[in-house]
Amino acid sequence: MDATANDPSAPRPDYAATPDATAPPPADTPDEYGEALDAAHRHAARWLASVQERPIRPDLDVDAVLARLRRDLPEEGTDAAAVVEELADATEPGLMAMGSSRFYGFVIGGTYPAALAADWLVSAWDQNTGSRQPTPATAAVEETAARWLLEVLGLPEGSGVGFATGATSANLACLLTARDAVIRERGVDPALGLQHAPPVRFFAGDAVHTSVVLAGRMSGLGAPVTVGADDQGRIDVAGLERALHEADGPAIVALQAGDVHSGAFDDFAAAVDVAHLAGAWVHVDGAFGLWAAASPRLTHLTAGLEHADSWATDAHKTLNVPYDCGVAIVRDEAAMAAALAAHAAYLPTVESIPDPYDRVPELSRRARGVPVWAALRSLGRNGVIALVEGLADAATALAEGFRGIRGLHVTNDVVFTQVCLAAPTDEQTAALGEWLRAEGTVWASSSRWQDRTVVRFAVSNRGTDAEAVRRTVDAVARGAAAVGIGA
Ligand SMILES: *Cc1c(COP(=O)(O)O)cnc(C)c1O
């Protein structure tokens, strides 16, 4: 670092004073970015203005977009603005309006203006926010966002918080931490490798999300042993207790806040107790469900979850920041750093304070916590509560509307943001899903749940209000009629 940086007597260039953010760039600076960024801004604005009213499905499939892009790698370069124009023109008909208030596929959030704009700045600043010292600004913004997240989610102050690409990598960060912690507890140095460690047992409910299974496999724990679940996907706590006591040795339990089909939450108070009594580490996959903890009205769903040891969630789902942003949270910040920190002589560290790269499985990374800060700053605590409760209210209203359509059944107990819909036969349900996606007013995924085909509505977009619900129920009613349901 520049040795004069902290020397108050050193001469300071003008920009050390308060910058005038409204001043144009100096005329003698060649603005090599301007035209390309202007083009990007124009296309972005046009896209964003179209998202709520265009058909949600893409007009082109991937082969059609490939055909539009097909050309050999050019020998010579092209002007930046022309590249942006070509990219936008070739791709726009193949874009899915995922930001629509009537997009219910998978679990996909939209984007708050403040978060999107902050994300643009993150790209322009291009700070590799791995360690605190070289990138003080973005590290400080992320640390502030981390503190606010713990506060709004009711998780222990001082927990380690890492900004990962999504809940999959956040689950991985947490499970790697858990694995090393339970091995170290048995007096073995986890750095020696799993072959020198006692076997670590890994348990989850039957409705465990595929990303937890993947994270288990990537971390060497393997896929979890499943211990049962009820008809909504909540872990069978008695089954968990039996499984934990079948053998000795280190153990990790993955619980779930928010099942992707039913939205159900595990009984955390009971399950965490049972797991901790058996000496197990408790991790919670709360990709979207963790956010229920922000709402005083919904905390009955998450009660006891704060006693777990680690939590994974997404900001790109419920918090509506742009892709990508997941959050790994570990109660014992030191355990997180012990498992995930990288050391090398050329990598600067600041005393004993963990760096951003001590909390995620990657070294180089964009400052993806900055849009989280922007979203939380623009919403405030009450805005977050209103967001989460609004999503849950919209799901309740959707279910009510669907129940009024002849021949359709809501197949889950709607407790949070997920609604599953079925017709009398699987064929009719599949046809309804296809009709909806092709018609374009609504986009919902088809799935299999509890041995039947369902159309799945995951409410995650900040814009899903009463009007969006009305148009959705109307589209579903038209679709049901069109495919002969209830005839
Ligand atoms: C989406 C989701 C994940 C995975 O999150 P990504 O951000 O897609 O990596 C994990 N668990 C649940 C319950 C999810 O809904």
User: Which CATH code for domain 380-482?
Assistant: 3.90.1150.10
* Residue 397: C-alpha distances to residues 457, 465, 466 (Å): 12, 10, 8
d(CA 302, CA 78): 53
Is residue 3 predicted with pLDDT exceeding 50? no
3-class secondary structure, 270: helix
Residues 395-406 as b or e (16 or more Cβ within 10 Å = b): bbbbbebbeebe
Is residue 131 predicted with pLDDT exceeding 50? yes
Q: How far is CA 111 from the centre of its chain?
A: 12
* Residue 346: C-alpha distances to residues 1, 74, 131, 134, 467 (Å): 12, 38, 11, 12, 56
Residues 372-390 as b or e (16 or more Cβ within 10 Å = b): bbbbbbebeeeebbbbbbb
Looking at domain 117-375, its CATH architecture is 3-Layer(aba) Sandwich (3.40)
CA of 107 to the centre of ligand 1 (A): 8
Please choose from 234, 265, 285 the residue to mutate so as to test ligand 1's pocket, defined by most ligand atoms within 8 A of CB: 285
Residue with more model confidence, 350 or 336: 336
Q: How far is CA 185 from the centre of its chain?
A: 31
The whole-number average pLDDT for the span 3-27 is 58
**In this prediction, what percent of the chain has a pLDDT beyond 70?**
93
Structure tokens at 433: 């899903």
**Side-chain-side CA neighbours of residue 155 (13 Å):** 30
3-class secondary structure, 406: coil
CB distance 105 to ligand 1 below 6 Å: no
- Average confidence score pLDDT of the chain: 94
Q: Is 86 exposed, middle or buried (0-12, 13-18, 19+ CB in 10 A)?
A: middle
Q: How confident is the model at residue 2 (pLDDT cuts 50, 70, 90)?
A: very low
Domain boundaries, the chain: 30-95, 117-375, 380-482
What confidence score (pLDDT) does residue 346 get? 83
Q: Locate the ligand 1 atom nearest the alpha carbon of residue 289 and give its number.
A: 13
Q: How confident is the model at residue 28 (pLDDT cuts 50, 70, 90)?
A: low
pTM for this predicted structure: 0.94
CA of 272 to the centre of ligand 1 (A): 21
What confidence score (pLDDT) does residue 300 get? 97
Q: How confident is the model at residue 6 (pLDDT cuts 50, 70, 90)?
A: low
CB distance 263 to ligand 1 below 6 Å: no
Is residue 4 predicted with pLDDT exceeding 60? no
Q: Where are the beta strands (DSSP E) in 333-408?
A: none
Is residue 1 predicted with pLDDT exceeding 50? no
Is residue 25 predicted with pLDDT exceeding 80? no
Query: Which amino acid residue places its CA nearest to atom 2 of ligand 1?
Result: 287
Nearest Cα neighbor of 310 from 183, 186, 195, 153 is 153
Structure tokens at 419: 């609604």
What confidence score (pLDDT) does residue 13 get? 54
CA of 168 to the centre of ligand 1 (A): 6
Contact between 252 and 287 under an 8 Å Cβ cutoff? The reply is no
d(CA 319, CA 172): 21
* DSSP at 103: B
Is residue 256 predicted with pLDDT exceeding 60? yes
Nearest Cα neighbor of 476 from 454, 460, 450, 461 is 454
Residue holding tokens 């009213």? 53
Nearby residues of 321 by Cβ (< 8 Å), 6 or more positions away:
109, 111, 112, 115, 119, 315, 371, 372, 374, 375
Is residue 459 predicted with pLDDT exceeding 70? yes
CB distance 458 to ligand 1 below 6 Å: no
What confidence score (pLDDT) does residue 345 get? 82
Nearest Cα neighbor of 47 from 87, 83, 81 is 87
Q: Locate the ligand 1 atom nearest the alpha carbon of residue 256 and give its number.
A: 13
Q: How far is CA 142 from the centre of its chain?
A: 16
Is residue 126 predicted with pLDDT exceeding 70? yes
CB distance 313 to ligand 1 below 6 Å: no
CB distance 326 to ligand 1 below 6 Å: yes
Q: pLDDT for 152-211, tens place per residue?
A: 999 999 999 999 999 999 999 999 999 999 999 999 999 999 999 999 999 999 999 999
Q: How confident is the model at residue 92 (pLDDT cuts 50, 70, 90)?
A: very high
The whole-number average pLDDT for the span 119-130 is 97
Residues in the chain: 487
d(CA 233, CA 117): 38
CB distance 58 to ligand 1 below 6 Å: no
Is residue 7 predicted with pLDDT exceeding 60? no
CB distance 285 to ligand 1 below 6 Å: yes
The whole-number average pLDDT for the span 70-76 is 94
Please choose from 260, 302, 321 the residue to mutate so as to test ligand 1's pocket, defined by most ligand atoms within 8 A of CB: 260
Q: How far is CA 341 from the centre of its chain?
A: 23
The whole-number average pLDDT for the span 99-114 is 98
Q: pLDDT for 419-454, tens place per residue?
A: 999 999 999 999 999 999 999 999 999 999 999 999
* DSSP at 454: E
Helix (H) or strand (E) holding 314: strand 310-314
What confidence score (pLDDT) does residue 29 get? 64
Give φ, ψ of 265 to 5 degrees: -115, 135
Residue with more model confidence, 5 or 81: 81
The whole-number average pLDDT for the span 118-139 is 96
* Residue 130: C-alpha distances to residues 135, 348, 351, 359, 441 (Å): 8, 10, 15, 10, 42
Contact between 330 and 283 under an 8 Å Cβ cutoff? The reply is no
Structure tokens at 316: 């790109």
Query: Which amino acid residue places its CA nearest to atom 14 of ligand 1?
Result: 287
Q: How confident is the model at residue 294 (pLDDT cuts 50, 70, 90)?
A: very high
